Amino acid sequence: MNPVYEKLLKCYDCYKKRIDFVPKAAIVLGSGLGNFARTVDVKAELPYSEIEGFPVSTVPGHAGRFIFGYINEIPVVLMQGRVHYYEGYPITDVVLPTRLMKMMGAGILFLTNASGGIDPSFHAGSLMLITDHISSFAPNPLIGPNIDELGTRFPDMSHVYDEDLQEIIRTTAKDNGIELFEGVYAQLTGPSFESPAEIRMLHRLGVSAVGMSTVVEAIAANHMGMKICGVSCVSNLAAGMNSTPLTHEEVQEAANAVAPKFEKLLTESVSRFAKYM
């Protein structure tokens, strides 16, 4: 059997033995949203370290576990902490958690992250609805023998971010007085931040925000037929757009500051997803 699929099945077995909960939506919590679980009616937890073969994050602020519970009666699984390609994991490990959450039962995937803002109208603390992505600077997670049990060899990527879910998030932001920008997100590998020349290049390519995650997860989820949506928290202006050097601490602080607004948007939007499940 394909070793990538075999590992996934082993992780699924481990989840099945430990957790009696079937989520309908999956939420990946990016930087700053680590405390989001407070707003969820939590029923169970599964630390990544207790799942055999599961990639465990090494990044400060990315403590890793699945949290199972309800957001207004909707059964969800949260990923508190994700793994990034720059940590050295094979790209198939980076998307293993996403695939696993689909196997658990989640048909919807809500991706969140922190990013550098490239669109000149953004500021630190802006929230951006992801309308499309550029994956060309990160390895494609579907490289290797296709896992036919998960999806097709050449999946279409014309509508990765579900239009209906986007509209719900847009309306939810409006109803709650939350300013929500929109744009294209590009994933680069990191871990170094971009150079100003790279940011100018991305700007010319139509990128509004840049980060080190999300796109590979969206590709793997789309391959498996999940409905996907994503919101990015612009934690800083991208390199060269202001005079101070970028630091991970700055990213975390800014993301923490936006957290209440972001949490509200997330909770309210997911509550309105019910009719799509």
Does residue 123 have an active-site annotation?
no
196 and 240 Cβ atoms separated by less than 8 Å: yes
Token readout for 4 is 């990538």
Q: Please tell me whether residue 194 binds ligand HPA under the rule CB under 6 A.
A: yes
Give the CA angle between residues 65, 190, 110 to the nearest 5°.
45
For the CB of residue 208, give the shortest distance to ligand HPA in the complex, in Å: 12
Query: Please, what is the angle between helix 3-18 and helix 96-104, to 10°?
Result: 50
- Catalytic annotation, pick one of 101, 114, 239, 259: 114
Q: Please tell me whether residue 193 binds ligand HPA under the rule CB under 6 A.
A: yes
Amino acid at position 185, single letter: Y
Stretch that binds ligand HPA, among 37-45, 148-156, 204-212, 256-264 (CB under 6 A): 204-212
Of 29, 79, 238, 258, the residue at the interface with ligand HPA (CB under 6 A) is: 238
For the CB of residue 27, give the shortest distance to ligand HPA in the complex, in Å: 19
Tokens 């971010």 -> residue? 161
Q: What is the DSSP letter of 18?
A: H
Of 69, 116, 141, 230, the residue at the interface with ligand HPA (CB under 6 A) is: 116
215 and 165 Cβ atoms separated by less than 8 Å: no
Query: How far apart are the C-alpha atoms of 48 and 56, rounded to whole Å?
Result: 6
For the CB of residue 66, give the shortest distance to ligand HPA in the complex, in Å: 23
Does residue 136 have an active-site annotation?
no
Q: Please tell me whether residue 32 binds ligand HPA under the rule CB under 6 A.
A: no
Q: Where on the phi/psi map is residue 73: left (φ > 0), alpha (ψ -120 to 50), or beta? A: left
Amino acid at position 37, single letter: A
Stretch that binds ligand HPA, among 9-17, 51-59, 102-110, 230-238 (CB under 6 A): 230-238
Does residue 213 have an active-site annotation?
yes
Q: Please tell me whether residue 127 binds ligand HPA under the rule CB under 6 A.
A: no
Of 80, 92, 112, 115, the residue at the interface with ligand HPA (CB under 6 A) is: 115
Q: Please tell me whether residue 232 binds ligand HPA under the rule CB under 6 A.
A: no
Tokens 């309800």 -> residue? 70
Does residue 113 have an active-site annotation?
no
Token readout for 234 is 């612009």
Q: Please tell me whether residue 34 binds ligand HPA under the rule CB under 6 A.
A: no
Q: Is 52 exposed, middle or buried (0-12, 13-18, 19+ CB in 10 A)?
A: exposed
Site of interaction with ligand HPA (CB under 6 A): 114-116, 193-194, 210-212, 235-236, 238, 246, 251
Q: Which residues are catalytic?
A: 31, 62, 84, 86-87, 114, 212-213, 236, 248
